[in-house]
Amino acid sequence: MAGAHTEKLRAKAAQVRLLVLDVDGVLTDGRIIMDHEGKEIKAFDVRDGHGIKLLREAGIEVAMLTGRNSPVVQKRADDLGILWVRQGVSDKVAAYEEIAHEVGIKDEETCFVGDDLIDIPLLKRVGMPIVVADGAEEAKQLALYVTTAPGGRGAVREVCDLLLQTQGKWEKILRRYG
């Protein structure tokens, strides 16, 4: 990581106590697959999930915000131990404010990962705005960091690793794996 990230990025990452994630286009590749009965199917990257678990074990909370309603999103959140999930959200800033209040977090202690125009107001609000590699150009212009991986394909893991490394928690994790 040395040299790869700016001092400003490292300073912001060092303060993060809450990671807020958009779902479609960030935790997934943005495609919505439906079966013949209209049931939604989403593909989640297992490495993203493991990164989320490592982050939570290290004391960094995680939340999910999405404009859609999908039982599979709640199931994935439950599997990962994510307590703060808001679905059917048209105003992500208002949903974030509820979560931030519940967690006791300030804007500068929050990292938000988004990908599209609806995410712009929240990207402008948080201390560490991040956009996935295949996100909208307008959103990328507001990002402190743009991932090298696309949404649903390792972007979230990249962010988790960045936070853990910057906060000095990475070596402890590596020791656990021998």
Give domain status of residue 30, yes or no: yes
24 vs 6, more confident? 24
* Percent of the chain residues past pLDDT 90, beyond the cut: 87
3-class secondary-structure state, position 10? helix
Residue 1 within any structural domain of the chain:
no
Query: pTM of the full predicted structure?
Result: 0.94
Two tokens, residue 175: 């020791």
| Helix (H) or strand (E) segment spanning residue 21 | strand 18-22
- pLDDT greater than 60 at residue 4: no
Tell me: the pLDDT tens digits for 130-162?
999 999 999 999 999 999 999 999 999 999 999
> For 26-42, how does the pLDDT look when each residue is reduced to its tens digit (9 = 90+)?
999 999 888 899 888 89
Domain range for 55: 7-170
Q: Is 175 exposed, middle or buried (0-12, 13-18, 19+ CB in 10 A)?
A: exposed
List the CATH number of the domain containing 144.
3.40.50.1000
Tokens found for residue 27: 């935790």
Say how many domains are in the chain.
Answer: 1
